[in-house]
Amino acid sequence: MLDHWVVAKFGGTSVSSRENWHTIMGVCHRHLEAGRRPMIVCSALAGVSDSLEELIDKAPRGEHKPILKRIGDVHRELAANLEVNADTLIGPLFDELERLSRGAHLVGEVTPRLHARMMAVGELMATRLGAAFLSANGVSTQWQDAREYLVAEGGPLLNARQRYLSASCCYDAGGEMRAKCEALSGRVIVTQGFIASTASGDTVLLGRGGSDTSAAYFAAMLDAERLEIWTDVPGMFTANPHIVPSARLLKSLDYDEAQEITSMGAKVLHPRCLQPVRDSNIPIEIRCTNEPGIVGTVISADAPEINAQVKAVSTNTNVTVILMETLGMWQQVGFLADVFACFKKYGLSIDLVSTSETNVTVSLDNLANAMDTAILEALTAELECFSTVRRIDSCASVSLVGRDIRTILHRITPALVFFEEIPVHMVSQAANDLNVTFVIDQEHAARLVEHIHRELFENIRNPVVLGRTWEDIFDKEDPEDPLSGGGRWWIERREELVALAEEESPLFVYDEETLRGAAARLLAMNSPDRVFYAVKANWHPGILQIFHELGLGFECVSPGEIEHVFSLFPDIAPRRILFTPNFAPRAEYELAFERGGWVTLDNLYPLEQWPDVFAHRDIFVRIDPGRGRGHHDFVKTGGKQSKFGISLDLVDRLVELASRNETRIVGLHAHTGSGILSTGNWKETAGILASLLDRLPDVKALDLGGGFGVVEKPGQSPLDLVVVDAGLAEAKAAFPNVEIWIEPGRYLTAPAGVLLARVTQVKTKDDFHYVGIDTGMNTLIRPALYGAYHEIVNLSKWGSKKRISANIVGPICESGDVLGHERRIAAVDEGDVILIGTAGAYGRAMSSEYNRRLPAAEVMLPPRRG
């Protein structure tokens, strides 16, 4: 009967310690007990391949000795830990490496052939030590030289570099290999990844990441039951976890998706290793050597069918973009052929291509192409014969990967706001409909990945393919305080807050110092002449009192808000009130004029239908700047789809109507949206409004609206008011006689408010934890309405290391009553006080009595004494 085989590949870190070799031994035992014969394929020890490359670089100059010593020390140290004899096991290999280095020094160069021989020593030494350790511990082990089994495919077109340094091998199932291995007496075979031989016996390499490919060849040739890739992470994640700690484990993928994710930059698996196993329909399991209990990503033909979904945001940071511009390309036959021939000549494989009539832009993966400056320069020189060449080094590609990606592109719309600020060199949509890729400057890649990941995965509801988050698996603490602008004032006052909530819950608490701090920052800006607080964000009397004292005006959108302000401050100067309604009835405008506030009109209808209300009056007019911005579509208030403002092409009609009624337009207003973190927004609005000044000579003020965003979640950068101010200063300089007004809401109140609630019940259902609290969307509707993110912590257990991932839910009878999805918080007990951050704006203001549950009450926290 034929043996059942499993091939398990262990990467550099996985073979570098005694502990990990114990894990490898455990894996061997498990397979042997289950009746499977394991073939263990190993990489060189961690860091050794890099050292060998350095050796290859420096040996021709005679600088090899210290590097050789380093390589020897690393192996001797592991041998000592494994209690095996370094001298007998690796002595001869090390001597050979020394000889080869001396040879390189003598001839002053390292040929690709020599390069391959020197690199191979790393894998050979690692496997010698490991095999001896397994044998010494009673595992029936047989060391084998991979070069006896893996033979490189030759090819007349291959240059020496390709032949020796990035070879491919034949991997027919049912060949001799299986029979040979079955005949070996050792039950476990230990062999090397990365290396193979030519038909004539020369050593060749499979290219970087080639150990995965070796293992896949072996799996195919042995017709293995499965291929296990053991590495330092338990699988592929929805993004690089070092960039996005909340990235989720991908539990299952099909070969196409895995191919795409790995090709687009995920380092867990080398993309080349997929083809051999896919041809033989062998599943791949990715496992973590440090967490051997976790079943990681499984790649197979049987991945569950689910609707189109973005599976991962991959990034590749070693990308060069080459732009080739020619005027002669217009309808010219063969230009592309000429261009591509040059790349072929230098053995460079192109990743992405985009063409226009006069330009071809391509991206190259520097690592995959084993590219160096000399090659690039030679290529550029050649391309310059028929085009103007521009090269952009240090680029990165950021790809969204998933099946049928075109059908779900709309979901990334919010993430595209990012491109307002950074240039995109290329956009490409793969013909196989599995990825959409943006090529940008490398320095922005991490931020873009975070941004897109947040939009796509943050509030996703437990789909079958997504597992735990990386930070959950490795129980990493939250990153350092990401919330600036006083957003985490509550850390220092947490004991007071817990006591307050134990008295009364749920409860909004507002911090006076934070309110004052936000107002002070806005008032410190030089360009705005007047700041009106947008009362709709939060009309708590204590808050309005503070802003009143500080001299802010009040932007109101209803008679209710106007009367509220007058009832609190009966003596307020009426011109500190600005009325900015939308589709309001006639009587509301009459009331506002009567009260003496500024009135803003955002439609021509009132001027046409109720001219008497506006005759001989001074008014502001709200203009639609043509585009909206904001944290969600629902809060963007510009552009064709928006109900706000008068479009720019109706301004002539506006002028005519106004002059007919002797209505003076003394101010222009525009508000693009809410929760904006791009500094250019207000300057741009000012420019648009200023372009109308020629036609509106009475205008004395430009009101640029609110929208000033605050940091709500990790990864966001705070709005830099200094930059905003500088932008506005340019507008002021151009129009010195026109004032600038602003009307912020969120910026003034969001960070100052927290919502406290207490845990009612917990539940675990299908592996998902739910933490119930005593209020929900009736108090804070923003997560349900906009998918808004509010930081959530267990204040009663502050600092506790025991953490869980849970959906934080309210008591309302709606599935959308979730305040935070898959949040990591300290493990809860009934009655614990949960804090929900940045809840000072549009929290209580938007709450309801839905389900006849009263929303949270409010208190103002006085400044601390002393």
Rounded to the nearest 5°, which phi and psi values hold at 530?
-140, 145
Confirm or reject binding of residue 533 to ligand LLP (CB under 6 A): no
Residues in 227-256 that interact with ligand LLP by CB under 6 A: none
Nearest to 143, CA basis, from 245, 40, 3, 267: 40
Window 546-575: contact mask with ligand LLP (x via CB under 6 A): ---------x--------------------
Quick one: 425 or 671, whose CB is closer to ligand LLP?
671
**Beta-strand pair 577-579/646-647:** unpaired
Judged by CB under 6 A, the residue of 745, 772, 783, 837 near ligand LLP is 745
CB of 741 to ligand LLP, least distance (A): 10
Cβ atoms of residues 548 and 673 within 8 Å: no
Interface residue with ligand LLP, options 248, 270, 403, 671 (CB under 6 A): 671
Q: Output the CA–CA distances (angstroms, integers) from residue 92 to 96, 125, 128, 201, 677, in the order listed.
A: 6, 10, 11, 19, 62
Give Rg (Cα) of the chain.
33
DSSP 156: T
Based on the shown chain and the rule CB under 6 A, indicate whether residue 672 belongs to the binding site for ligand LLP.
no
- Per-residue mark of binding to ligand LLP, 138-177 (x: CB under 6 A): ----------------------------------------
* Alpha carbon distance 188, 25 (integer Å): 10
Cβ distance to ligand LLP smaller for residue 350 or 846:
846
Cβ neighbors of 85 (< 8 A, separation 6 or more) are 79, 132
Give the chain's length.
Answer: 866
In the complex, the smallest distance separating the C-beta of residue 544 from ligand LLP, rounded to whole angstroms, is: 15
Q: Which stretch binds ligand LLP (CB under 6 A): 294-302, 543-551, 717-725, 740-748?
A: 740-748
- Indicate the residue type of 814: E
Q: Which of 207, 276, 487, 675 binds ligand LLP (CB under 6 A)?
A: 675
> Which residue, among 714, 712, 718, has the nearest Cα to 790 in the 3D structure?
712
Kindly report each contact of residues 142-145 with a partner whose C-beta sits within 8 Å and lies 24 or more positions away, as own/partner.
142/184, 142/185, 142/186, 142/188, 142/189, 142/190, 143/189, 143/190, 143/191, 144/181, 144/184, 144/189, 144/190, 144/191, 145/191, 145/192
Based on CB atoms, which residue is closest to ligand LLP, 554 or 747?
747
* Smaller CB separation from ligand LLP, 473 or 619: 619
Smallest distance, ligand LLP to C-beta of residue 653, A: 22
- Nearest approach, Cβ of residue 746 and ligand LLP (Å): 4
Per-residue binder mask for ligand LLP (CB under 6 A), 86-125, x = binder:
----------------------------------------
CA 346/CA 419 separation, integer angstroms: 34
Q: What is the Cα–Cα distance from 387 to 366, expressed in whole angstroms? A: 22
Q: Does the CA dihedral 667-672-675-677 come out positive or negative?
A: negative
Judged by CB under 6 A, the stretch of 81-89, 147-155, 357-365, 738-746 that binds ligand LLP is 738-746
Residue in the block written with tokens 């061997």:
28
Q: Which is nearer to ligand LLP, 218 or 620 (CB)?
A: 620
**Distance in Å, CB of 856 to ligand LLP, minimum:** 16
What residues contact residue 774 under an 8 Å CB cut-off, 6+ apart? 505, 506, 757, 758, 759, 760, 810, 811
Judged by CB under 6 A, the residue of 149, 708, 741, 789 near ligand LLP is 708
Shortest CB 602 distance to ligand LLP, Å? 9
Query: At closest approach, how far in Å is the CB of 846 from ligand LLP?
Result: 6
**Is 744 a residue that touches ligand LLP (CB under 6 A)?**
yes
CB of 710 to ligand LLP, least distance (A): 9
Stretch that binds ligand LLP, among 46-54, 204-212, 471-479, 705-713 (CB under 6 A): 705-713
Is position 782 an interface residue for ligand LLP (rule: CB under 6 A)? yes
What type of residue sits at position 580?
Answer: T
143 or 842: CB nearest ligand LLP: 842
Instruction: Kindly tell me which residue out of 485, 705, 751, 783 binds ligand LLP, with binding defined by CB under 6 A.
Output: 705
Pairwise CA distance, residues 230 & 251, whole Å: 15
Question: Which CB sits closer to ligand LLP, 446 or 676?
Answer: 676
Distances (CA, A) of 446 to 235, 452, 578: 20, 10, 42
Q: How far apart are CA 592 and CA 611, in angstroms?
A: 16
Of the pair 488, 746, the CB lying nearest ligand LLP is at 746
335 touching ligand LLP, by CB under 6 A: no
Region near ligand LLP per CB under 6 A, out of 125-133, 439-447, 669-677, 733-741: 669-677
Smallest separation, CB 582 to ligand LLP (Å): 8
Q: How far apart are CA 213 and CA 354, in angstroms?
A: 30
The least CB distance from residue 413 to ligand LLP, in Å, is 17
Does residue 516 interact with ligand LLP by CB under 6 A? Answer: no
374 CB-contact burial (10 Å; exposed 0-12 / middle 13-18 / buried 19+):
exposed
Choice between 455 and 743, CB closer to ligand LLP: 743
CB-nearer residue toward ligand LLP: 506 or 744: 744
Could you give the string, one character per residue 450-479, with x where binding to ligand LLP holds by CB under 6 A and - elsewhere? ------------------------------
Identified binder of ligand LLP from the candidate list 122, 296, 645, 707, rule CB under 6 A: 707
Name which position in 351, 725, 743, 774 contacts ligand LLP (CB under 6 A).
743
- Percentages helix, strand, coil for the chain, rounded to the nearest 5? 40, 25, 35
Q: DSSP 3-state assignment of 246?
A: coil
Q: Which stretch binds ligand LLP (CB under 6 A): 107-115, 149-157, 610-618, 667-675?
A: 667-675
Tokens, residue 95? 């001597």
The reply to whether 580 sits near ligand LLP by the rule CB under 6 A is yes
Binding to ligand LLP by residue 706, rule CB under 6 A? Answer: yes
Least separation in angstroms between CB 670 and ligand LLP: 9
757's enclosing H/E stretch is strand 753-765
Of the two residues 135 and 647, which places its CB atom closer to ligand LLP in the complex? 647
In terms of DSSP H, where are the helices of 691-804? 721-734, 746-749, 782-786
- Of 45, 534, 757, 795, which lies in the binding site for ligand LLP, with binding defined by CB under 6 A? 534
Contact between residue 582 and residue 557 where contact means Cβ atoms under 8 Å apart:
yes
d(CA 359, CA 344) in angstroms, rounded, equals 19
In the complex with ligand LLP, which residue's Cβ is closer, 690 or 846?
Answer: 846
Number of residues that bind ligand LLP (CB under 6 A): 22
Angle among Cα 588, 593, 595 to the nearest 5 degrees reads 95
For residues 239, 249, 434, 282, the Cα torsion angle rounded to the nearest 10 degrees is 130
Please name every residue paired with 755 in a beta bridge, in sequence order, or none if there are none: 508, 836
Q: Which of 188, 448, 613, 635 binds ligand LLP (CB under 6 A)?
A: 635
Q: What would the two tokens of residue 258 be?
A: 């895995």
Please identify every residue annotated as catalytic: 813
Is residue 746 a contact residue for ligand LLP (CB under 6 A)? yes
Bridge-based pairing state of the strands 833-836 and 792-794: antiparallel
CB of 294 to ligand LLP, least distance (A): 38
Residue 731 in tokens: 């507008």
Classify 340 as helix, strand or coil: helix
Min dist. Cβ of residue 490 to ligand LLP (A): 20
Subset of residues 825 to 864 that bind ligand LLP, contact rule: CB under 6 A:
841-842, 846
Closest CB to ligand LLP among 402 and 706?
Answer: 706
Burial (CB < 10 A; 0-12, 13-18, 19+), residue 655, is: middle
- Return residues touching ligand LLP (CB under 6 A): 534, 537, 555, 580, 635, 637, 671, 674-675, 705-708, 743-747, 782, 841-842, 846
